[in-house]
């Protein structure tokens, strides 16, 4: 029997974790215990991976931009679902921006800054579950454009989507973003506790 390299094993394990987590989110949505997306502000929506077989292409929300925080492999059709493909967003005249980031990891500071600047129209920001990676971008947007302190922005998002959750690395990158933005504005940042 051939043995797998550590890299192959890690890739396979990430795939298993992705599918188990996606199944968990589909079950929670099916049981109506967790919404697939939540309005954070009138033109800002935070949610899970848009799925073709759930008619998410027609969000019915006037969405003009999609911010995708998934890795490319997460956007491929699989046994559980078929994510809306980039070509489908393009055909629907919805701009899509990518911030390819691994699950439970933070996007880079440059990625956050680039994606925060895109949100001019009604925007749907998503990762797999709409809990971590996409939450980083939404919180950063609120810090930058709504002059919220970091903790205030996180709590505001949590009040709209109670199941958001940030990994410690995601909180650290948000703190760096907040420090950079607050020092430019002359304010002091506050770190998130959740």
Catalytic residue among 127, 142, 148, 174: 127
Q: Is 127 a catalytic residue?
A: yes
Edge-first strand order for the sheet with 65-68 is: 37-41, 44-47, 123-126, 65-68, 95-98
User: How many residues are given for the chain?
Assistant: 194
Do the strands 123-126 and 44-47 form a parallel or antiparallel pair, or are they unpaired? parallel
Q: Is the pLDDT of residue 1 over 70?
A: no
- Please give the average per-residue pLDDT across 28-46, as a whole number: 81
Q: What is the pLDDT of residues 102-131, one digit of tens each?
A: 888 899 999 999 888 766 788 999 999 999
Q: Is the pTM of this model over 0.85?
A: no
Domain 36-185 has CATH 3.90.190.10: yes
């Amino acid at each position: 029997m051939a043995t797998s390299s550590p890299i192959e094993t890690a890739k396979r394990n990430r795939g298993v974790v992705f599918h188990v987590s996606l199944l968990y989110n589909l079950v929670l949505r099916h049981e109506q215990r967790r919404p697939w997306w939540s309005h954070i502000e009138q033109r800002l929506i935070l949610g899970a991976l848009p799925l073709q077989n759930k008619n998410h292409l027609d969000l019915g929300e006037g969405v003009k931009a999609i911010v995708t925080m998934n890795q490319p492999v997460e956007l491929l059709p699989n046994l559980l679902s078929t994510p809306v493909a980039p070509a489908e967003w393009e055909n629907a005249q919805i701009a899509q921006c990518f911030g390819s980031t691994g699950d439970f990891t933070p996007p880079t500071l440059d990625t956050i800054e680039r994606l925060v600047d895109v949100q001019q129209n009604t925007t749907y920001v998503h990762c797999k579950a709409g809990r971590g990676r996409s939450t980083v971008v939404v919180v950063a947007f609120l810090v930058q454009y709504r002059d919220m302190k970091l903790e205030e922005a996180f709590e505001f998002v949590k009040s709209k989507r109670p199941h958001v959750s940030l990994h410690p690395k995601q909180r650290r990158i948000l703190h760096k973003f907040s420090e950079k933005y607050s020092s430019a504005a002359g304010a002091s940042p506050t770190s998130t506790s959740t």
